[in-house]
């Protein structure tokens, strides 16, 4: 009975993780656009950390860095849920690898600016996710994945509803 519950939890985690990865891809690669022509075609690579983060007034735009950190926090959490036995370094490499892959894809398809700052901030977000999972695991003991799955399911449903509203409003704008 306990093994069946554990298997259902793991399946739910995998489904939520897949939805998260789809949303992350839509966000990072497609910039939340509904059609590819809406995206700008730019093939730029920035290998210098924080260089692309400055606005016209010379100040660092921390909002972009913060957002890049925030969107990768769930990746670190899901990685811990799905790959508990992996050592920290292996999880870190998976996080940095995904962040780097997104930047390479952006460069290859000219759908954004490939920026080392994004890789660094995404990786930091994943590390924060690993830390959050570790804290929750200490506080919640054996219920950690169950609690995270419930919270993730609620946020996923809310996000899907938001996307539906955006699609409806986008369609409404196209009609009028």
Indicate whether 2 pLDDT > 70: no
Euclidean distance between CA atoms 109 and 105, whole angstroms: 6
To which H or E segment does residue 134 belong? helix 116-140
Higher pLDDT pick, 169 / 102: 102
Higher pLDDT pick, 94 / 114: 94
pLDDT value of position 55 = 62
Higher pLDDT pick, 55 / 121: 121
* 41-90: pLDDT as tens digits: 667 777 777 776 666 666 777 888 999 999 999 999 999 999 999 999 99
Q: Is the dihedral of CA 132, 80, 32, 52 positive or negative?
A: positive
To which H or E segment does residue 44 belong? strand 42-46
CA 22 vs CA 27, 48, 116, 144: distances in Å: 9, 28, 22, 24
Euclidean distance between CA atoms 64 and 53, whole angstroms: 8
Q: By the 8 A CB rule, do 126 and 75 touch?
A: yes
């Amino acid at each position: 009975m306990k093994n069946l519950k554990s298997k259902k939890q793991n399946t739910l985690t995998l489904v939520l993780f897949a939805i998260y990865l789809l949303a992350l891809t839509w966000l990072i690669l497609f910039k939340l656009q509904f059609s590819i022509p809406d995206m700008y075609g730019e093939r730029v690579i920035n290998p210098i950390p924080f260089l692309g983060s400055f606005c016209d007034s010379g100040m660092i735009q921390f909002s972009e860095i913060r957002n890049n950190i925030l969107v990768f926090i769930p990746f670190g959490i899901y990685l811990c849920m799905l790959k508990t036995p992996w050592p920290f370094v292996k999880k870190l490499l998976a996080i940095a690898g995904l962040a780097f892959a997104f930047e390479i894809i952006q460069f290859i398809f000219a759908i954004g600016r490939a920026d080392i700052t994004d890789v660094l901030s995404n990786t930091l977000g994943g590390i924060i996710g690993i830390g959050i999972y570790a804290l929750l695991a200490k506080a919640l003991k054996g219920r950690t994945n169950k609690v995270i799955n419930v919270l993730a399911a609620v946020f996923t449903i809310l996000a899907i509803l938001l996307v539906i509203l955006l699609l409806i409003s986008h369609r409404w704008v196209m009609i009028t």
